[in-house]
Amino acid sequence: MEEVRRPRGRPRKPVLLQAEPGLARLGLHERAVQRLRGLIVGGELPAGADLVETDLSAALGISRTPLREALKLLAAEGLIELRPNRSPRVTELRPGDVAALFEAIAGIERATAELAAHRMGEADLAGLRALQTEMEAHHRAGALAPYFALNHRIHGLIVAGARNAPLRDAHDALHARAELARRRALGRRARWDESVAEHRAILEALEARNADAAGRLLSEHVTHTGAALLAGLCPPAATDAA
Amino acid sequence: MEEVRRPRGRPRKPVLLQAEPGLARLGLHERAVQRLRGLIVGGELPAGADLVETDLSAALGISRTPLREALKLLAAEGLIELRPNRSPRVTELRPGDVAALFEAIAGIERATAELAAHRMGEADLAGLRALQTEMEAHHRAGALAPYFALNHRIHGLIVAGARNAPLRDAHDALHARAELARRRALGRRARWDESVAEHRAILEALEARNADAAGRLLSEHVTHTGAALLAGLCPPAATDAA
DNA sequence: TTAGCATTAATTGCATGCAGAGCACGAAAA
DNA sequence: TTTTCGTGCTCTGCATGCAATTAATGCTAA
């Protein structure tokens, strides 16, 4: 059934990651969550990979107990799938999942934008303006790499501006998976132009404290982004110049 | 600092819950999650209660390992709070949290209603109509208890009608905490009348496939519900309209 | 009597051990 | 050659054991 079927286990990824000096005050399971999340969205643990507890615990330098706790948490985020008496697997994003994901993010970010339009302070808006300026500079310079980082920070600032912990948490949980989809279909220059323009419009709506417009624009922006990702992901044909 | 400070541990709740014959095919940690969630939203485990691993594991008839996995998941849901080297505590809902919670639910349900307006089949709508009719019957009869169950099912049907798993998951995660707030402030007869009427308007919007109206009405409905709960919870005085 | 300190009991965090389930491989039969 | 059953190994799920951390308690001294 599956084309990418590992024999039984043993993806044999010599990941070997431990010793996080900065954030050492957290529990092992929490560090494992962060590390594994990074490995998954970073692509080091590819979609469909089997996560064998013994190997992973050895690679992370921890025992299976905190690792299993971390795996449960990642499964709750949807990054991996748990199957009874089977190795957990890194979730495979099907096009339908990506579409649903961005629908959900669009809805949540619209709600945050509407709240943020009323609740962001001038300092917040100034920060957003600065990021927008920086982003446009990168855009003009053609620096695509920093764009993603800026994009992430801008969306995060708007979400934080809503001052709503549940919405923030829900957004963060979905964002990891969205990042996972994002790295599959990057380099869409045309979409990049649109995206920067949309961000500017969103900023202006927030500055005008226009909640409806901010929410609508941000929702549409996320929807467009999702559609672009989906287009670059689902039918990769029609560009078979190779 | 805390008024409800248990000595050190030992809430000594002889909960003693296990042996779920129906859903025996799930892992122990998952059953523990469901059971504990029920105990928390049901009020058997009151807000602020210390959850000592040894006692709970004995009460549930499982060992500490799956229990700890369950506790991590409940903490991710926000139902309990984990503190380093301390017993987890059932989360105490402050008024600000309730307000934020219902803001978030309003935003998410609006998104689901907009999608559901396009995606619900005639069968779904028929089911909604039946529930609405039943609800109105209970309303006329003054049966308050079934109202909550119907209300829950109606909102669940709309959320399911959106055909969006991430939104459904996010909604479910928040819903447990909302239920927790709900059982604190019940018996608001006036709000009950409004609520039934709002539900009817939402149903009509969905039947008309009017996504904007459905989303707006449902969002407002949830907001009103949250406000009513908050009013019955935070300042029980100052009910000017009474 | 009160403040400070050492002691002690209890609880969490993590590691390890063991039994059960599932898959792969191989042998035997059609 | 293909199919089916048996065998063994690996991995998960759960329980238990041990050390570190914490808070309560009793003691001593001012």
Q: Which of residues 22-81 of A touch B (CB under 8 A)?
A: 25, 27, 29, 65, 68-69, 72-73, 76, 78
B166:A100 CB<8 A: yes
Q: Please, which pLDDT band fits residue B21 given cuts at 50, 70 and 90?
A: very low
Q: At what angle do helices B189-207 and B211-231 cross, to 10 degrees?
A: 170
B72:A68 CB<8 A: no
Return the pLDDT at A99.
Answer: 94
Beta-carbon-side half-sphere exposure of residue A79 (alpha carbons within 13 Å):
29
Chain A interface, mutation test: which of B81, B102, B103, most A Cβ atoms within 10 Å?
B103
What is the distance between the alpha carbons of residues A37 and A27, in angstroms, rounded to a whole number? 16
**How close B10 comes to chain A (CA, Å)?**
24
Q: Kindly list the structural domains of chain A, giving each domain's residue range(s) and its CATH number in brackets, ordered by start.
A: 1-92 (1.10.10.10), 95-231 (1.20.120.530)
Stretch A159-180: mean pLDDT, rounded? Answer: 94
Q: Please, which pLDDT band fits residue A185 given cuts at 50, 70 and 90?
A: low
Average pLDDT of chain A? 85
Ranges A38-42, A222-226, A229-233: which has the least confidence? A229-233
What is the distance between the alpha carbons of residues B118 and B2, in angstroms, rounded to a whole number? 50
Nearest to residue B29, comparing CAs of A15, A69, A241, A236? A69
Residue B2 scores a pLDDT above 60: no
pLDDT tens, residue by residue, B139-173:
888 887 788 889 899 999 999 999 999 999 999 99
Q: Chain B residues with CB inside 8 Å of A103's CB?
A: 111, 115, 164, 166-167
Ranges B19-23, B52-56, B139-143, B199-203: which has the least confidence? B19-23
Return the pLDDT at B25.
Answer: 73
Q: Tell me, in Å, how far CA of A13 is from C1' of D9?
A: 21
Taking phi first (over 0 means left), then psi (-120 to 50 degrees means alpha), and beta for anything else, what does residue A40 get? Answer: alpha
Return the pLDDT at B159.
Answer: 97
Ranges A42-51, A107-116, B1-10: which has the least confidence? B1-10
What is the distance between the alpha carbons of residues B210 and B202, in angstroms, rounded to a whole number? 10
Beta-carbon-side half-sphere exposure of residue B50 (alpha carbons within 13 Å):
18
**C-alpha distance from residue B165 to each of A161, A229, B101 (Å):** 26, 19, 20
pLDDT tens, residue by residue, A85-103:
999 999 998 889 999 999 9
- A93 touching B (Cβ < 8 Å): no
Tokens representing B39? 């105990």
Return the pLDDT at B229.
Answer: 85
Q: Please, which pLDDT band fits residue B181 given cuts at 50, 70 and 90?
A: confident
Residue B112 scores a pLDDT above 70: yes
Using CB atoms within 10 A of its CB, is residue B123 exposed (0-12), middle (13-18) or buried (19+)? Answer: exposed
What is the distance between the alpha carbons of residues B115 and B211, in angstroms, rounded to a whole number? 7
> pTM for the whole thing?
0.86
Nearest to A167 among B76, B107, B112 (CB): B107
Burial B22-35 (b: 16+ CB within 10 A, else e): eeeeeebbbbbbeb
Q: Chain A residues with CB inside 8 Å of B34's CB?
A: none
